[in-house]
Amino acid sequence: MKKFMKKCLPMLALSVVALVGATGCGGTDTPDKPDEPTTTLKDLKATVTWWNNYKDPVADGVAEDEARKKSDYTEYYFAKDAITEFNKIYPNITVETTYKGGYSDIQKAVNTGMNSGDIPSIASGYPDAVAGYVSAGVALDVGQYFDDAELGFGKTIDSTGTVIADANTTKADFNQAYLKGEAAQYSDNKHYSMPYSKSGETMAINQTLFDKVGAGETGVNSFNYKDPTIPVYEAPVAKDTKKAYATPTSWTELMATARQMKIDYPDVFKDNVNSDGLFTAIPVCYDSAENMYISFSKMLGIPYTASGSTVKDQVLFNNADARKMVVQLKKWNNEGLLATQNQLYYSNKAKGYHQYSSTMVTNGKCFVAFSSTAGATYFSDGASFLAKLNETPVIDKSIYETNGTGSTAKSTVISQGPSLAFFKKSNADDQKAAWLFYKHLTNTDNAANLAIAKSYFPLRQSSYSTDKVKTIVDAAGTTTLESSYNDKKVDYTGQVLKLNETYSDADRYMSTAVFDLSSACRTAVGNLVKTVFDDKTAKTDAEIATLVDTAFNDAYKAVVTQ
């Protein structure tokens, strides 16, 4: 069964506090001025170590012919194949990949390695982690290579070692929203990390249910092909008064639609809270409480965080407007319209795992899910309905009006997904080799391959001109209820690739400032929303206001007392 949030953990907070305390670690293995290289690019002998979250089938004892068929190893073989092609150009550069677990595990490994001098050339992770690497003095600014005559963007070598132009790796071809974001996140405007497998967010809806008019099943009931007693999709049954729903473009419209869903599908939402106080069905689920809080704050013009020299300058989320926003979110939650993944029923109570919104959608128990575009293909599991992956709706102050009509503006979308952090090495050749490998790993063809394999957004505009990506984009929205699982995967991948173009062309991506407490802020606001939503006693306006005030005070204290 797919578990994309567990695998991808899009934008989960990573603590950098321990790393900040490690300033100056790394010893002689991470000097500010490495030895000068003595080789040309053609003969460059170097080693690049990449710590990532790609499970190794060899370590798992899975044969390659079988492992290549499994989604667990898709990224491992993407990297392996990219390295093979890289070595055709640079045969003397060895690239070693090491599985370190999830992103937090990678960060912990780097933290430990800084004390012993054992750090990689490249590590996968989120920018919040890189802030710690920068504070520790081990991060490498690869911006120094951007315009280098031999190493720079848009350069490669031919078979003789002559430096030639390379249209597949130019700086201008990068999606500038990602490139600007990587630098803008650090207070000194340097490039200690570079974009890699990027994604955004989408409002995924059950289009079959939205289109339904009148009484009857919304889709077709389906069952597990191995065990026909296990339902895969329990088609919700609508009342005879059910009308078609328009796709909401604002949260004001969305919440009005959610209220209508509860009227039109009473059997689905009747008794939808279990003995644990968790939702077994919900009209709308927003996977990430953190992303919801941060993007809503941005669209409502509410201060969240900023770079600055003091805590007071940096930690801004504890304010009256933010409290007003969370009060409204709590009211929607109390009304049974909106939840985050933390309020969905347990899929494994012993481990504290909550169900995924995509699973809820494909089981007919959730009709609108806000999730990472990297999880687009998981909606293909719902073989008996059609999903539609839409732009996220805007939120504005009409949410506070009893009969608000919503804005005509467009939403701001969090740019998420891991980056690759670079580290200082004692050998300048190793540093340069890491940069050369990054350019190759993110060239036109490889960016296209990764996008197709994992529903990530291509980093390069030229990837959209490749036949392989054009074929998938052209397939977006072409499937029917009878289409195969694989055809729907292609369709939904095409839909999210189109979303990336839409978001990029309109400059709608956002990223937040990265500083020593940025990870703590993200964790704090996520916990704040969870605390407020989990409370089942606050019902009146006064009770909700008191609950929210306490949650904000505790969240702020958790950050500033670190």
Rounded-to-integer distance, Cα 137 and Cα 402, Å: 53
In a domain, 50, yes or no: yes
In a domain, 465, yes or no: no
The residue whose two tokens read 């891991």 is 418
Which ranges of 301-454 would DSSP assign to H, the alpha helix?
311-314, 320-334, 357-362, 428-441, 444-454
196, 206: one domain:
no
Cα distances from 94 to residues 99, 106, 434, in angstroms, run 17, 21, 10
CB atoms within 10 A of CB 531: 19
State the CATH number of the domain containing residue 216: 3.40.190.10
225, 347: one domain:
yes
DSSP 534: H
SS3 248: coil
CA atoms within 13 A on the CB side of 318: 19
Structure-block tokens of residue 179: 């490139």
106, 205: one domain:
no
The residue whose two tokens read 């305390």 is 21
Instruction: Report pLDDT digits (tens) over 141-155.
Output: 999 999 999 999 999
- Domain span at residue 150 reads 39-200+415-460
Q: What backbone phi and psi angles, to 5 degrees, belong to 270?
A: -75, 135
In a domain, 114, yes or no: yes
Rounded-to-integer distance, Cα 384 and Cα 481, Å: 6
Confidence at 514, pLDDT banded by 50, 70, 90: confident
DSSP string over 106-172: HHHHHHHHHHHT---SEEEE-HHHHHHHHHHT-B--GGGGTT-TTTSTTEEE-TT--EEE-GGG-ST
206, 195: one domain:
no
Count: domains in the chain: 2
Instruction: Report pLDDT digits (tens) over 310-367.
Output: 999 999 999 999 999 999 999 999 999 999 999 999 999 999 999 999 999 999 999 9
| Average pLDDT for 70-89 | 96
Q: Is the pLDDT of residue 460 over 70?
A: yes
Rounded-to-integer distance, Cα 415 and Cα 429, Å: 32
Cα distances from 323 to residues 204, 391, 525, 545, in angstroms, run 28, 26, 11, 8
pTM: 0.88
Q: In this predicted structure, what is the pLDDT of residue 404?
A: 86
Q: Is the pLDDT of residue 32 over 90?
A: no
Q: In this predicted structure, what is the pLDDT of residue 34?
A: 52
275, 395: one domain:
yes
Q: 7-21, 95-109, 280-294, 488-502: which has the minimum mean pLDDT?
A: 7-21
Higher-confidence residue of 308 and 63: namely 63
In a domain, 509, yes or no: no
DSSP string over 437-471: HHHHHTSHHHHHHHHHHH-PBPSBGGGGGSHHHHH
In a domain, 306, yes or no: yes
Rounded-to-integer distance, Cα 87 and Cα 437, Å: 9
Buried b (16+ CB within 10 A) or exposed e, 410-432: bbbbbbbbbbbbbbbbebbbbbb
141, 193: one domain:
yes
Cβ atoms of residues 201 and 8 within 8 Å: no
Q: Which amino acid is at 387?
A: A
435, 529: one domain:
no
367, 218: one domain:
yes
In a domain, 475, yes or no: no
Cβ atoms of residues 282 and 272 within 8 Å: yes
256, 360: one domain:
yes
Rounded-to-integer distance, Cα 386 and Cα 362, Å: 10
321, 208: one domain:
yes
In a domain, 498, yes or no: no
152, 271: one domain:
no
193, 206: one domain:
no
In a domain, 397, yes or no: yes
